[in-house]
Structure formats: structure tokens, C-alpha cells
Structure 1
Amino acid sequence: MRGENLTSSASGKLRLDFHTAIGPVFIRNKAYLETKVGEIVDWAKTNNAALYMGEFGVGYPCFQNDKGGLQFVKDMVDINKANNIHFTYDVYHEDNFGLYLGLADFLKKPS
């Protein structure tokens, strides 16, 4: 710990907190996604309900500099297919979601 412009009598305190969780603690990876989607799949099986995942995706910056956007999309597609969940990837023609860059301005121009 470092301070600037402190008097010789100044003091500081350090604090360390511990938290608990009800159940396992996951990192954000495919195992986490499988667990969370699995909870919904289990509910659907119990209630004889069909599932449709409407619109999942990540913002364009998640695809830059190995931030994991492509891995997230691949994991979600794999998990949905493995569980027979139909899905929609969002958003198809929007700059934010990285598939069509610059198209939003093009579409606004009159022909």
C-alpha cells in the first residue's frame, strides 16, 4: 500500500472479505453455459415444454482481440443443437453484432 502526501501519523487498513455461494461456482466458459441451459432443459422436460432460444449474441467488440465472442457463439450453438433447442442468432443486420459492418448506414440511404 502506498500513499502520497501523508503525515507520519497516518494509517491505513486492509480488508479481506470472503463470500459463499449456494452451489458450485463457475467461470464463464462452456461448462457454465451448459449448466445454465441445462437447468432450463430440465424444466422443459419436466413440464413437457418445447424450447426456443430467441435471440442470443454478443456485441461487436467481443469479437476483437480474442475477447471470446466467437467461442461464446460456437459454445451456444453447440449446446442448443445438443439439446434440440431451436434458436435465433441476434442481430442479423446490425453493426453491434459484427456480421454486417457499415450496412446500417447503407440501408438508410434512399435509392
Structure 2
Amino acid sequence: MDKNFWERVNVQNITEFFLHGVERVEIVPSTYPERQSQNDSDFIKSLHEYRRMILETNWNGLTEEEKLDKDADLYGDAEITFLYQDAINLAFEIGLICGMKLTNEMDKAVNDIFK
């Protein structure tokens, strides 16, 4: 086993691996409420940005397929999907921690019963 493994273990990395099969490179040091608040704020800003881009786009003369492609491009440019995925990652991470804590408490309770 890699001798630095336990130094690199972080619940954010574990979450990223479970959800996407990759290791998160940048660890976010903020608390959960701070991270949630920041993500909410960024997500709302991205929706406003998406709306602004939709209103400023000239849709005249585009075929339905071109309109769908343009809409998908604008949606991606506003980073809505990225921020939505961040919210899912954060919820999964919190759930993972709760599950580990409940498992630990249950293990202690079972051990106390059979002492």
C-alpha cells in the first residue's frame, strides 16, 4: 500500500471516486453550510446568466435543431450542469459522513449489548 495513502484520504476524494471514478484534486476547506451557501449563490447567478444569454441571442432564422444546439451551448456556458453536479456531490458527501457515523454508533451499541 502507498505509504502516503492515509495522508491523502479525504471524504471529498472518496465521494468523487464513488460518484465519478476519479480523485478530486482540489479539496475545498470550507464548512458544509459555507459550501452549500456558495453553491446556491453560484447556481442562482448561473441561472440569471443563462436567462440573459437566452434573451440576447438572435433566434431568428435558426432551424429547430440549431435552436436546440444553441440552447445546449448556452446552458453549458452558464455552467448550470456543473453547479447542479456540485450540489449532488455535496449532498452525497454529507450522506456518506452521516452513514459512517451511524454505522460507528450502531457498532458501538451492538458491542455494548454483547459485553
The interval holding the TM-score normalised by the smaller chain is: under 0.3
TM-score by length of 1: 0.25
Higher relative contact order (CA 8 A, sep 6+): 2
**Higher Cα radius of gyration:** 1
The structure where helix makes up a greater share of residues is 2
TM-score by length of 2: 0.24
The structure where strand makes up a greater share of residues is 1
